[in-house]
Amino acid sequence: MESGTRLRILEATYACVARWGLSKTTVEDAAREAGLSRATVYRYFPGGRDELVAAVVSWQYVEFFTRLYEEVLDATSLEEVLERGLLFARRAVLEHEVLQKVLQTEPEVLLPQLTLQSNRTIAAIATFLEPYLVRHPLAEGVDVHEAADFLARMILTYIASPGHWDMSDAGQVAALVRTELLAGVVAPA
């Protein structure tokens, strides 16, 4: 969690990105929006604009995954975690106005930032899934860590690009989980 002046700068920068986009947002814009001096912004983000943009992307990334975690926290099965998580995540990505705007207008600026976060994200999702996999009968020869890594990578793929699956339809998401994500990972019933 961010606090105090740093959070104020991140929120101000986010507001500027929402208004003008990533590439047009400057340190001066963020400082003005936050009601702070440029020197104060540089004190918190000595790397300037690049560090500030990276921090905003990272901050929003953490916010997203915190909300996702809260969505699935009380799930009792691996299937329920995957289904609820996919439904929530796809909806949240599509409803995130700033993310959608930046992806449409300047993906070349945002996508490298997201790529930098991907290994950390895969590891975090895999770590979260491992206890569910341990409690679930796995197919013969399936390693828990490899299965968790596979599922984490596939989850991110389906959130970003669901293909023919309707990720707003709980029935289709349940079918996706059972026929594609868990096929070959869990032991046949």
For 124-170, write each residue's pLDDT tens digit. Answer: 899 999 999 999 899 999 999 999 999 999 998 898 888 999 999 99
Q: Which pTM was predicted?
A: 0.81
Residue 164, pLDDT score = 95
Is the fold of 1-56 the same as that of 74-189?
A: no
Predicted confidence at residue 35, as pLDDT, reads: 97
CATH architecture of 1-56: Orthogonal Bundle (1.10)
CA distance 167 to 152: 17
- Taking only the tens of pLDDT, the chain with its 189 residues reads 456 999 999 999 999 988 888 888 999 999 999 999 999 999 999 999 989 988 988 888 888 889 999 999 999 999 999 999 999 999 998 888 887 777 777 777 666 666 667 788 889 899 999 999 999 899 999 999 999 999 999 998 898 888 999 999 999 999 999 999 999 898 887
In angstroms, the CA 142 to CA 111 distance is 32
- Alpha-carbon torsion 122, 127, 162, 18, what sign? negative
Domain ranges of the chain: 1-56, 74-189
Does the domain at 74-189 match CATH 1.10.357? Answer given as yes
Q: State how far the Cα of 163 lies from the Cα of 16, in Å rounded to an integer.
A: 33
**The predicted structure's pLDDT at residue 78:** 94
Is residue 56 within 8 Å of 9, Cβ to Cβ?
A: no
Q: Give CA–CA dist 92/29, Å, rounded.
A: 27
